[in-house]
Structure 1
Amino acid sequence: MSPGHPPPDSDREHPLLLVIDPAARAVDGESVRIAKDVLCAGASSVKVCVPDSAEEAERALAHRGRRHPVVLGDDSALLRTVRALHRDRTLGEAPLALVPIGPRSALARGLGVPGQVLPAARAVLDGVERELDLLVDESGGIVLGALSIPCGTPVSRTAAHWWTPVEKTARSLVRTLTAPIPVNGSPPPQRLRVEADGVLLADLDQPVREVSVRTSPSGVAEVFVRRTEGAEHVRAQARTITVSGRDFRYRADSAVTGPVRTRTWTLEPSAWRLTVPRR
């Protein structure tokens, strides 16, 4: 993953395709208006797309021509856009920009996009391109930030909060259960086979608590296998990671997928470019 560098010409001189996510319009129309005003005033040419569906947004992206895509929306809108461009094999043709609008923007902030509307809109006009790696699985799924296998049915934050009083009640009523009740929604260990570039990191006879994978500035994926208490954790770097086991689920960025029995993720270095502020 290379450091950010200025584009050949300022984005002020490039025509933009402004894709306004329907959810962003619904939750914060005022922020959408502000971002649109800033971008239309600062760019040489702006075409505004207000799609009613993901399919309509994908059609606009496919017919954007030389325009640089700019998404007004949250992490979900960013992921849909990257997925659509990657599927069409046009992800590397032009830098992508995002103005975060919506409740979920932690991924975008982690990639370097400002969390506030005005700084993010200004970065679209005056920022630099940052090359980023991509994790792609054999089913066409992508990972921009991090991948984790919780080794059990993932519990949402709301569900975990709800589980706490239930757990206390269960503990007081049932003292003879042989299987311990998960604490704070922590999933039980799971038996997984984990391979990194063909090197075995964990096998089915070695229960693990969690497997996490994320891209790194070194251009390879960092793999961390957290074993059960008392066992040594394992770290590795790899371009290809394969996990297999009995009906496991995994979290790719903010989405939970599964159950599956095997999945292979391959790192695509410098697969896409994101516009971020100048340092």
Structure 2
Amino acid sequence: MATFAKSDQLLVIIDPTARRLDGESVRIAKDVLSAGAAAKVCLPEGPEEFARALDRRGTRRPVVVGGDRALVRTVSLLHRQRELAGCALSVVPVGDTSLAESLGVPGGAVAAARAVLDGAERRLDLLVDDSDGVVLGALGIPPVPVREPGARVPVPSGHPWLRTTYRSLIRTLASRPARLPAVPCPGHARLRVDVDGETVVDLDQPVEKVSVTPAAGGVAEVEVRPLAVGAERTPLLTSGRTVTVAGADFRYRADAAVSGPVRKRTWRVLEGAWGLVLPPA
């Protein structure tokens, strides 16, 4: 892992969604970073300004203050510019932070900002598809719906006991995983999955779920769950450098975004393709 000098200059790009959702955490992160290094702060108002700020970083180390979507957007931009190899990226998660934290970034503005200043670069594997899309953490088929960052569930007005009961019901329902029907779903459930040219499951075997995760050593871990009818079926586990999924129009979730529909998509693993600054081991 490569370490950094205190004199390093930082380009702090604050995502507009983070500013809207949690201005206090953004302020704390900015104060900690500015106190510990020479930091230029950018406040882009949209994706185009975000891209321009990143493109004009010069020799400054980019630091993204924002949620998982901002992190994926940054890696995607650097990948398409073919500049990932020479760029050590830092992130202070604000908003939706599950992806960043799963990669080892500390939760909380202060801890994450201190990791930017005192941490070291760790090279991570990346999944890249045949349309130049990237996957940092996990790929799932079919996509599991998630609530947008900052979305609020309306609470009925009236007596306090009614509001309390309603919130309790919403929490109970939200904690239960969505159940797929016990019959083959048209299109999405009939897929052919090939790993390094070997067929794991074909179109004649309906599947409930396919997940692909980049792992260490330049390979992806693949889990295929055949659709259970009656007795539960054992998941099929394998790993490889190239994963191809084909079938009738299907959608997939790559990190924080849903893509598709597509009929065929291939992902390949790029070993050590990008660098993320994390706390020292």
State if a TM-score over 0.5 links the two structures. yes
What residue in structure 2 maps to residue 175 of structure 1? none
Partner residue in 2 for 1:67: 60
Counterpart for residue 92 of structure 1: 85
Q: What residue identity is the alignment partner of 1:201? A: V
1:129 lines up with 2:93 in the alignment: no
> Which runs of no fewer than 5 residues in structure 1 stay unpaired?
162-182
Cα distance in structure 1, aligned partners of 2:22 and 2:207: 42
Partner of residue 108, structure 2: 116
Contact 1:147 1:250 in 2 (8 A): yes
RMSD of Structure 2 on Structure 1 (CA) = 1.9
Q: Is contact 1:155-1:185 (8 Å) kept?
A: no
TM-score (norm. length: structure 2): 0.83
Contact 1:147 1:213 in 2 (8 A): yes
In structure 2, runs of 5+ residues without a counterpart are 154-176
CA offset digits 1:202-225 (Å, max 9, x no partner) = 111111111110011232101111
Q: Stretches of 4+ moved more than 3 A in 1?
A: 153-158
Report the counterpart of residue 236 of structure 2 in structure 1.
234
What are the residue-to-residue correspondences of 1:15-54 with 2, within 5 Å? 15-43=9-37, 45-54=38-47
Q: Against the structure 1 CA distance between its residues 30 and 156, is the aligned structure 2 distance closer, same or farther, given a 3 Å change threshold?
A: closer
Structure 1 residue 194 corresponds to structure 2 residue 193: yes
Alignment of 1:1-279 (within 5 A): 5-7=1-3, 9-10=4-5, 12-43=6-37, 45-102=38-95, 104-150=96-142, 154-156=144-146, 184-186=178-180, 189=184, 190-229=189-228, 230=231, 231-279=233-281
Give the 3-state SS of the residue equivalent to 2:45 in structure 1. coil
Instruction: State the shift of 1:228 in Å.
Output: 2.3
Aligned residues: 246
Task: Check conservation: 2:217, 2:271, Cα contact below 8 A.
Answer: no
Distance 1:54 1:206, change over 3 A: same
Question: Per-residue deviation at 1:106?
Answer: 0.2
TM-score (norm 1): 0.83
% identity of equivalent residues: 55
Aligned-pair distance for 1:232?
4.4
Do the aligned partners of residues 184 and 274 (structure 1) sit closer, same or farther apart at CA in structure 2, a change above 3 Å counting?
closer
Distance in structure 2 (CA, Å) of the matches to 1:149 and 1:278: 34
Q: Distance in 1 between matches of 2:244 and 2:59?
A: 37
Q: Output one character per residue of 1:28-77: Cα deviation in whole Å (capped at 9) or x when no partner.
A: 2121111111111111x211111111111111111111111000101011
Query: What is the distance in 2 between the residues matched to 1:58 and 1:114?
Result: 25
Q: Residues of 2 paired with 1:86 and 1:50: CA distance?
A: 22
